[in-house]
Amino acid sequence: MSVRENILNAIATNQPTLVPLPVLNRTAVISYEDRYAQFKSVLESIGGKTELILNIEIVIEKIRSDKANDTFIIDTISAESIDTADTIALSAFELEKVERAYIKGTVAVAENGAVWVYESQMKNRLLPFICQHLVLVIDKNDIVATMHDAYDKINVGSEGFGAFIAGPSKTADIEQSLVIGAHGARSTTVYVVE
Amino acid sequence: MKISHAALAEKFIADEPRTDWHDDTLWFVREKRDKAAHGLPEWEQLREWGSQIKDHTLSNLSNYLKEFEEKAKANGIIVHWAGDGDEHNKIIHTIIQKHKIQKIVKSKSMLTEECHLNDYLQEKGIEVVDTDLGERIVQFRKEAPSHIVLPAIHLKREDVSETFHEHLQTEKGNNDPQYLTEAARQHLRDKFVQSELAITGVNFAVAETGGFVVCTNEGNADMGAHTAAVHIACMGFEKIIPKAEHLAVFLRLLARSATGQPITTYSSHFHKPRPGQEMHLVIVDNGRSKQLGREDFRNSLKCIRCAACFNTCPVYRRSGGHSYQTAVAGPIGSILSPNLDMKANADLPFASTLCGSCTNVCPVKINIHEQLWKWRQVIVAEGYADSTKTIGMKTMAYLFSKPSLYRFAGKMGRRMMKAFPFMTNNKFNVWYKQREMPKPPKESFREWYLKNGKINRK
């Protein structure tokens, strides 16, 4: 018998009698009157930044200004962005030098400040983690109350990779002192488009 | 024989200010957990869901594992099965050899600690760089993590500064956490961009979709996994949950219970290798199927490794993680470890006050303190208990069953304590350690009651 069969047989023999899955009745789950306000307050409490903007043009303008200043950015948002294929092909050595990455998110979560980003939105899986500063853009209507609502809106298996990102990379491994900017992005700014 | 928990705890508490600091710091984390939990009116409902989902999963585990394997394979993930730690290590070694890999980064995985992967590979001349900041610190110091979420919680900033000065040439005496973290960031980014193989743990594996989720605050799992040409994720088989929607329940519980954060910075969902990448998943038993068969202890397999039980435990906080000498310390470790090696870990279920605080904070409602008590019974029945404990208990049982002998012994004891206090007030009496013995009473309660009981009863 193979190792796999041994393990599965041992489990089948030893597992208890079947008990049902609970029905998740969400009537008691928290909701927020102003989901944007909640999202902003939580994200700021975990070291992120939020800004409400009237339209995407404001972000595009920032991208243009970054480019004009010769800042090494990767823009996966605007129509004038660099070729997707180029971004996918970038190595870790090159991406390590990216100052700012602009990425669109699918859904934002008011209860914890997280934004879901699909691989197709990152273009390159490494990008949102390795860039020095991360800029996420989300539509105000896509802010949901809780993780339950977030999983209703996404299909995690539809792409090879995806992540909830909540604020900048951080650690408290030295004497529980919070330090922002461990290995990943040193800052995370979320632009919420009204 | 290994040194007992009590002996190592005694060493730990010898430094009193440091013990107090350790105690306070972990209690502070526990308080953050409370604040986060109280922020959600449905917290108790969430715990109940978490518990019930895990109960259901354990009761249908063989089917969920088969479903998961099938979906993961369809996603392009190469699935391996390991019966024990040694098989787990061999599988990883074989992959390393096949690709002739030199540069390996690893994010936090308690399973690889449990299997002693680093030691195994080191013996083969292969170096693994731990990339979680806390784990890198203890790796430099050739120590084991002392906490599953906060691996270097036993160290002070001066210790880290000294270690980094030695290994990363940081400024001597610069104890600023910001400065030290920045040094580690530069050092480890260098390791990340060169990495050929990334090893990660798994927080949750979803049967329905054949993918797995890894949670970090630092981003180290992602930095490695998305750079290296080969990614190996290692998981104990109990990490399975049925559906993606259940992730909502567990991600809401995990970080709040662990550190009081609303969610970890990164909750990464891996389903397919990126183009050109090879993605392996090693599913490990290592005693888990045996634990599943122990009716009294099986629900320890519901654990999501948040460490809330560590932070609240009065014994853990005052004895430190290293005193347990197991990959998973604290209350949960003390109910998992006897299953792996009952003899070696026989003292751990006794390293508890049975206060039940661990059970109260557990996000998946494991009855930890009851299991500690049950393990004590198993350990005594199997003959693994400390002989002084066994003899003492037997003597007490005999004495309590003979009322006249008990009364006589009580009387003699009181007289002896009065006449010869050194008989009890000496270093051979463990109850005398750090305590004053009580004054011997003039009479026993029974004697008092015989005199006064009837008068007072109206």
What is the rounded distance in angstroms from the CA atom of residue B405 to the CA atom of residue B424?
A: 20
Greatest distance between any 2 Cα atoms in chain B: 90
What is the rounded distance in angstroms from the CA atom of residue B269 to the CA atom of residue B272?
A: 10
**DSSP string covering A65-92:** HHHHTT--EEESSSTTPPPHHHHHH--H
pLDDT band per the 50, 70, 90 thresholds, residue A82: low
Q: Average of pLDDT values for A53-69?
A: 94
Q: Average of pLDDT values for A165-178?
A: 96
Question: What are the sequence ranges of the domains in chain A?
Answer: 33-193
Integer CA distances (angstroms), B307 to A129, B71, B233, B352, in order: 26, 30, 21, 16
Residues 164-183 of A with CB under 8 A from B: 164-177, 179, 181-183
pLDDT of residue B452: 86
Q: Please name which of A131, A134, A106, A132 lies closest in space to residue A119, comparing C-alpha atoms.
A: A106
Residue A84 has pLDDT above 80, yes or no: no
Element (H, E) at B31: helix B16-38
Chain A residues with CB-CB distance to B140 below 8 A: none
pLDDT of residue B267: 98
Task: Choose the closest CB to A147 out of B193, B248, B295.
Answer: B248
**Is the domain defined by B53-135+145-151+197-289 classed in CATH 3.40.50.10420?**
yes
Q: Any chain B CB within 8 A of the CB of A60?
A: no
What is the rounded distance in angstroms from the CA atom of residue B262 to the CA atom of residue A167?
A: 11
Of how many residues is chain B composed? Answer: 458
What is the rounded distance in angstroms from the CA atom of residue A107 to the CA atom of residue B213?
A: 18
What is the rounded distance in angstroms from the CA atom of residue B349 to the CA atom of residue B15?
A: 25
Asked if B350 and B378 count as a contact pair (C-beta separation under 8 A), the reply is no
What is the rounded distance in angstroms from the CA atom of residue B39 to the CA atom of residue A38?
A: 12
pLDDT of residue B1: 59
A:B CB pairs within 8 Å: 260
pLDDT band per the 50, 70, 90 thresholds, residue A81: low
Asked if B157 and B177 count as a contact pair (C-beta separation under 8 A), the reply is yes
Instruction: Please indicate whether, in this complex, the C-beta atoms of B52 and A163 are within 8 angstroms of each other.
Output: no
What is the rounded distance in angstroms from the CA atom of residue B256 to the CA atom of residue B33?
A: 6
Residue in A with minimal Cα distance to B51:
A22
Chain B residues with CB-CB distance to A179 below 8 A: 177-178, 181
Residues of chain B predicted below pLDDT 50: none
Chain B residues with CB-CB distance to A161 below 8 A: 226, 268-272, 274
For residue range B317-362, what is the model confidence (pLDDT) as tens digits?
A: 999 999 999 999 999 999 999 999 999 999 999 999 999 999 999 9
What is the rounded distance in angstroms from the CA atom of residue B137 to the CA atom of residue B122?
A: 18
Question: What are the sequence ranges of the domains in chain B?
Answer: 1-39+314-390, 53-135+145-151+197-289, 402-456
What is the rounded distance in angstroms from the CA atom of residue B119 to the CA atom of residue B457?
A: 70
Instruction: Please indicate whether, in this complex, the C-beta atoms of B177 and A177 are within 8 angstroms of each other.
Output: yes
Give the fold, CATH level 3, of A33-193.
Rossmann fold (3.40.50)
pLDDT of residue A19: 97
pLDDT of residue A88: 82
Instruction: Please indicate whether, in this complex, the C-beta atoms of A96 and B193 are within 8 angstroms of each other.
Output: yes
pLDDT of residue B458: 53
Residue in A183, A187, A188, A190 to test binding to B, most B beta-carbons within 10 Å = A183
Residue in B with minimal Cα distance to A185:
B219
Residue in B with minimal Cα distance to A20:
B56
pLDDT of residue A83: 66
Rg (CA), chain A: 20
Residue in A174, A177, A180 to test binding to B, most B beta-carbons within 10 Å = A174
**DSSP string covering A102-171:** EEE-SEEETTT--EEEEHHHHSSTTHHHHSSEEEEEEEGGGEESSHHHHHHH--GGGSSEEEEE-SS-EE
The letter for the amino acid at B241 is I
Task: Choose the closest CB to B270 out of A42, A146, A161.
Answer: A161
Residue in A with minimal Cα distance to B107:
A183
Chain B residues with CB-CB distance to A124 below 8 A: 226
pLDDT of residue B416: 85
Chain B residues with CB-CB distance to A114 below 8 A: 263, 267
For residue range A1-12, what is the model confidence (pLDDT) as tens digits?
A: 799 999 999 999
Instruction: Please indicate whether, in this complex, the C-beta atoms of A183 and B218 are within 8 angstroms of each other.
Output: yes
pLDDT of residue A63: 94
Instruction: Please indicate whether, in this complex, the C-beta atoms of B42 and A30 are within 8 angstroms of each other.
Output: yes
